[in-house]
Structure 1
C-alpha cells in the first residue's frame, strides 16, 4: 500500500503518466545494471547499455518531455558521480605511496627543524625508484614556480586585454579580437610546447648560456601565453557586467575614460577579475604537454632554490614522463602526485567560484 501511494505521489509531483514512469524505472534499472557490469569488468556490459538506449529511444518517441527532463537529470547526476568516483580512485591508488612515505613524501634534502622538532624530514636522494624513495617536493616546487611565472605574464596582460576588448576597442575591432582570443584557447598544448622547445629554448641557450636545455623560466613563459585566453575571456565578462549607469555617472562627473576604468570599472569587477586570474592559475598548474616537452626531467630541487633557469619537474610532467614504465609503488607515487595536483586545482576552482559569486552579490546590491 505504501509503495502504491509513493508511486502515486511521484506521478502527481512530476505530472507524468504511468507509462512514462514505468519507462523511466526500466531505464534506471538498466543503467544501474550496466554500471555494475562495468565495475565487474563483465563482457555482458553491452547488453544493459543497448537496452537503455532502446528504452530511451522509446521514451523519446512516446514521452518526449518526460524523457528530456530525465536525461538532463541523468547528465547532471552523472557528472557529480563521475567526479566522486575519480576522486575515490585517485586516493585509493595513491594510498600505498602515502603509507610508505608518510610525511617524507614532502621531504627536502636536509631536515627542517622548529624548536628542536623535525617538521619536514630530510631525504637524499629525493626521488629514486630503485630505492623506493618518492618525495614530491621538487615537483611541487617546479609547479609553484612555473605557475607563478605564468601568472606574472597572463595576469597583467589578460586584464589589460579584457579592458581593451570591453572598454576601449571599437565594435569592429572587438568582433575580430575577441573570437581570436577564444581561438587561442583551442590551440593544442603540444603545439605551444613544441614552439617553446624549438624557438624560446634555443634562444635562451644561444643568448644566455644556460647550463641545461630547458628551464622553469621557459615553461612559465609558454604556460603564461596558454593561460591568456582564459584570463581575458573571464575578466572581460566580469568587466562587461559592470552596470553602464555606474560608468556613465563617473563620466558625467568629469572623469576621463582612464580614470573611470581605474577607479570605477576595475574595483567594481574586482571579484570577477580575481576569479579570472585564479582560473588562469588552475589552467597553468594543470598544464602537462608543454612542461613535458620543454623540461629536462630532473627530480631534484634547483640550486639555488630561487634559480628559475634551473631544470626540475612539475607534477604533471612527472606523471606524463614516467607512467609508461611505472609499476607497484612507483605507480602509486605518480597517483599521489595526481592527488596533490587535483586537490590544489580543486581549491583554486572553488575559490574562483566563491569570488565570482561574491561579485554577483555586490553588483546586485546584496552584500
Structure 2
C-alpha cells in the first residue's frame, strides 16, 4: 500500500511539474524575466533572513516591486509563482522550527545520558528518574513528572470530550432539524474561538476554589478539574470533525437500512456510526492533540511544581504538565534548564505529530471505505 501511495505521489508531482513547464513555455520573455527576478530576490532575502542580515530588506523590496509589476502585467504566471513560493515557504518554516527545537535540546540530552550494556543512550536518564532539580547539585532534569501530568490531564479531557462530542455530533447530524442544526453548529464552533486563558481563568477562580473546599485539598491545583476544562476546550473540535464524518455517510446506506424496517436509532447504531467510525476516531484524536498541547489553562490552574503526585492515580492534586513547565520557566531559564524546556517541546512535538498523522491516516481510510475503494 505504501509503495502504491509513493508511486501515485510521484506521478502527481511529475504531472504538476510537466504542466508548469508547459505553462512557462507559453509565456512571453518579459513575464519569465519578472518571475526570475522575483525568485532570485526571494531566495536572497530568505538567505539574508537566516543570516540575520539587516540588508535582507533590499532583496525583499525588489521582490515586492517585481511581484506588483508582474501582478499588473502578467497576472497568471505571477499568481502561480506566488502561491508556489508561499507553499514552499510554509514547508521551510515548519522544517526550520523542527530543526531549531531539536538542535536546542541536544545539550540536555547529552547531559542526561546514561550507559546501558556499555552503550551510552542520550537522554535516557530524563525518562528513568523522577527528580527535577535545576538549582541544587546534582542538577537533574527529569521529564517523568510532567509526562505523568500531561497523561493525566489528557485522559480526563478525553473522557469528557469524546462521549459529549460524539453524542452532540450524532444529534446534529442525524436527529436535529435543519433550522436547529444551522443555529447550534455555529455556536459550537464559536466555543473554539474563545481564548484558552479565559477557560483557565474561569477554572482558577471558580472550579479550583470549589474543589479545594469540597474535597479538602491543600491549595489549588487538580488534574481532575484541569482535565474537565481542557475537555470542554477540545469539545468543539470533536463535535465539528465528527459531525462532518457522520454527515459524509451516503444517504443510500441509511435509506436502505430504514427500508428494511429498522428504527432510526438502529440505523444510527448499525450503519451510520460504524461507517463513520474512522472519521469519528480521527475527531477524538484531534481533540486529544488539543488536550496535550493546551498551555494556559494548565498553567493557570496547576501548582507548577515538577513533582509526581502520591499516589500516581490521585487526580485531586495537580503539579505540572509539559506545557505548563515551559510556560512557568521560560522567562528565567538559561543554560541547561533552557535546553530542558526545549526537550519538553520536542516530546510535545513528536507526540502531537504522531497523533496528527494518525488522525489523517484514519480519515484517509474512511474516505476510501465510503468511496468503495479497496
TM over 0.5: yes
Please, which runs of 5 or more residues in structure 2 have no aligned partner?
1-18, 115-121
Counterpart among 207, 210, 221 of residue 214 in structure 1:
221
- 2:330 and 2:124 map into 1 onto residues whose CA distance is 20
- 1:71 and 1:129 map into 2 onto residues whose CA distance is 50
Deviations 1:200-249 (A, max 9, x none): 11110111111231111111000000000000000000000000000011
Give the aligned partner of residue 39 of structure 2.
Answer: 28
Q: Alpha carbon RMSD of aligned pairs, Å?
A: 1.6
- 2:21 and 2:188 map into 1 onto residues whose CA distance is 49
Deviates more, 1:95-104 or 1:213-222: 95-104
Give the aligned partner of residue 55 of structure 2.
Answer: 44
Give the aligned partner of residue 128 of structure 1.
Answer: 134
- 1:363 and 1:232 map into 2 onto residues whose CA distance is 20
Give the aligned partner of residue 76 of structure 1.
Answer: 87
The answer to whether the 8 A contact 2:129-2:144 is kept is no
1:142–1:122 CA distance, 2 compared to 1 (3 A): closer
**TM-aligned CA deviation for residue 127 of structure 1:** 3.3
TM-score after normalising by structure 2: 0.90
Counterpart among 176, 179, 185 of residue 178 in structure 1:
185
TM-score after normalising by structure 1: 0.91
1:142–1:13 CA distance, 2 compared to 1 (3 A): same
Counterpart among 86, 100, 122 of residue 111 in structure 2:
100
The answer to whether the 8 A contact 2:112-2:125 is kept is no
- 1:156 and 1:306 map into 2 onto residues whose CA distance is 22
Give the aligned partner of residue 6 of structure 1.
Answer: none
- 2:160 and 2:283 map into 1 onto residues whose CA distance is 14
The answer to whether the 8 A contact 1:269-1:359 is kept is yes
**TM-aligned CA deviation for residue 300 of structure 1:** 0.7
Residue 164 of structure 2 corresponds to residue 157 of structure 1: yes
Task: Tell me the SS of whatever aligns to 2:112.
Answer: helix
Deviations 1:101-125 (A, max 9, x none): 12685658xxxxxxxxxxx6446x3
Residue 153 of structure 2 corresponds to residue 146 of structure 1: yes
Give the aligned partner of residue 353 of structure 2.
Answer: 346
- 1:151 and 1:51 map into 2 onto residues whose CA distance is 50
1:1-367 to 2 correspondence within 5 Å?
Answer: 12-14=22-24, 15-102=26-113, 105=123, 107=125, 121-122=128-129, 125-131=131-137, 132-367=139-374
The answer to whether the 8 A contact 1:106-1:136 is kept is no
**TM-aligned CA deviation for residue 349 of structure 1:** 0.2
**TM-aligned CA deviation for residue 316 of structure 1:** 0.5
How many residue pairs are counted as aligned between the two chains? 347
